[in-house]
Homo-oligomer: A and B are copies of this chain.
Amino acid sequence: MENRLKFGMVGGGNNGNIGNSHRIGATIDNSACLVAGCFTRNSELNKRDGEMWGVATDRIYETYQEMAEVESKRQDKIDFVSIVTPNHLHYLVAKCFLEHGINVVCEKPFTLSVNEAEALKALAAQNGLEICITYTYPHYPILQECKKLIQTGTIGRIIDIVAEYPQDWMILGLAQGEQNYTSWIGDPAKSGNSNVTAAIGVHLFYLIKSMTGLELESVLASFDYYPENAPLETVARIILKYSNGVKGLCWMSNVAIGHDCSISLKIYGDKGSIQWTHEDQTHLHLAMLGRPVQILSANRDYLGSESRKASRLPAGHPEGFYEAYGNIYRAFIQFLMEKKRNALADAESYFFPKAVDGVAGVRFVQACVESQKNGNTWTRLADM
């Protein structure tokens, strides 16, 4: 008897990075199996990709609409679809599958507008379906320890938060003449009204949210543009205000030369602090007031069980980006399986980003855009 879930993909063809991250992440624990897909618009490549990944010919579809339609009627239909298309298609594809009764995994940012995000969330709720957004970073194993240390009070009351995410791929691409601005990333028609905030700012937003549990109330954002006439922002500096009064700071850039993907997080409490950086993704720095800084290492015995369960290898054997995707999928798949068996535990037990997190991410982006438009003034997420 097959005890794996079945899933399909929309997008993710041509051996692209994000497609592979989903495919490997979903299957790394052998708890799901790719059985259907519409991988790319090019019919020939679509077929080739499907075959390469072992999808039966009759489940390689020309359009996502056809895929949703046909799959929804099969006895052995897919349990969920993973949406790995350009951002502006997320809404339409997700809507289509939700309408056909199929659960959705969607790349971030969820949608380009708050209305779309809210609509999808409502639709899922109405149809008894689940949405998972693949914000990757909180799912590195050691960050489960971070979450636990914060939420059980080890570092005390939070008094400050600083997060940053510099990259240089866009300035590198521009210099190499890869007209990214004229392709979809820098094109408002396809990317919506935000570049760096939507692309990587939402990662910082959700990373803080998932670690601290705090609710972001308002932002004050200041954008920058490179080149100066770029239609969308390439740098964002954002002051954060949480509902309990805690404040914080975010900085993000995709024109910061020398950085690969240098997301980092610092959370300060009144008893201790925690630091994590993606460039050393398997360690956490914990500083307790008046004590030496401690370096916590993934899957060591002294960690809590939440964090250790998120590791697949012994301490010292690095696990990376694919494995973080694997952890999102693991939780989502476990949720779907236990839902099928009517054996759901409480929601907190399943650590994956949900529709509500997708909606909040879109509100965050829109509030930043609004703050910048209004001369760097405080803007409430609830007003978006």
A-side residues, CB < 8 A to B, are 1, 3-4, 17, 20-21, 23-24, 28, 30, 33, 51-54, 155, 159-160, 162, 164, 167-169, 171-172, 175-176, 220, 222, 224, 226, 235, 237, 239, 247, 249, 251, 253, 255-262, 266, 268-273, 275, 278-281, 285-297, 300-302, 312-323, 375-378
CB distance from A148 to the nearest CB of B (A): 14
Chain B contacts of A300 at CB under 8 A? 260, 290, 292
Query: What residues on B are CB-neighbors of A160 within 8 Å?
Result: 224, 235, 253, 255-256
Bound: A81/B52 CA distance, A: 22
Q: List the B residue with the shortest CB-CB distance to A4.
A: B54
- Chain B residue nearest to A27 (CB atoms) is B27
Of the candidates B164, B292, B293, the one whose C-beta lies within 8 Å of that of A162 is B164
Contact indicator A251/B249 (Cβ below 8 Å): yes
- CB proximity of A313 to chain B, nearest CB, Å: 6
Given contacts A319-B322, A322-B319, A323-B320, contact A287 B258 (CB under 8 A): yes
> Would you mind naming 17 contact pairs between A and B with Cβ atoms under 8 Å apart?
A30-B54, A159-B224, A160-B224, A162-B251, A167-B316, A237-B239, A256-B273, A257-B271, A257-B287, A260-B297, A262-B316, A278-B316, A293-B295, A313-B321, A319-B321, A319-B322, A375-B378
- Whether B297 pairs with A295 at a CB distance below 8 angstroms is no
From residue A83, how far is it (CB to closest CB) to chain B in Å?
Answer: 20
Given contacts A30-B54, A292-B295, A292-B302, 13 further A-B contacts (CB under 8 A): A167-B316, A176-B290, A226-B270, A239-B239, A256-B268, A257-B288, A258-B275, A260-B300, A290-B302, A293-B297, A295-B295, A319-B320, A376-B378
> What B residues does A262 contact at CB under 8 A?
316
**For A302, what are the chain B residues with a Cβ–Cβ distance below 8 Å?**
290-292
Contacting residues, chain B, for A314 (C-beta < 8 A): 17, 169, 260-261
* Contact call B293/A272, Cβ cutoff below 8 A: no
Taking a contact as CB atoms under 8 Å apart, the answer to whether A261 and B317 are in contact is yes
Indicate if the CB atoms of A268 and B253 lie closer than 8 Å: yes
- The closest CB in chain B to the CB of A228 belongs to B245
A257 to B232, CA, bound (A): 37
Nearest chain B CB to A165's CB is how many angstroms away? 11
Distance between Cα atoms of A251 and B164 in the complex (Å): 12
Closest 5 CB pairs of A and B: A258-B287, A260-B316, A261-B316, A318-B320, A292-B294
- Nearest Cβ in chain B — how far from A54, in angstroms? 7
- Please state if A21 and B313 are interface contacts (CB–CB under 8 Å): yes
A21: min CB distance to chain B, Å: 7
Q: For residue A53, which residues in chain B have a CB less than 8 angstroms away from its CB?
A: 30
Judge whether A313 and B17 touch: CB under 8 Å.
Answer: yes
Q: Which residues of B contact A17 (CB under 8 A)?
A: 312-314, 317
A361 CB to nearest B CB, Å: 20
Report how far A20 CA is from B3 CA in the complex, Å: 18
**When chains A and B are docked, how far (Å) is the Cα of A272 from the Cα of B171?**
10
Q: Which of A262, A285, A318, A376 has the most CB of B within 10 A?
A: A318
Distance in angstroms between the alpha carbons of A104 and B321 in the assembled complex: 30
B residues within 8 A CB of A322? Answer: 28, 312-313, 319, 322-323
CA distance A3 to B322 in the complex (A): 24
A11 and B111 CA atoms in complex are apart in Å by 46
Given contacts A222-B220, A323-B322, contact A272 B285 (CB under 8 A): no
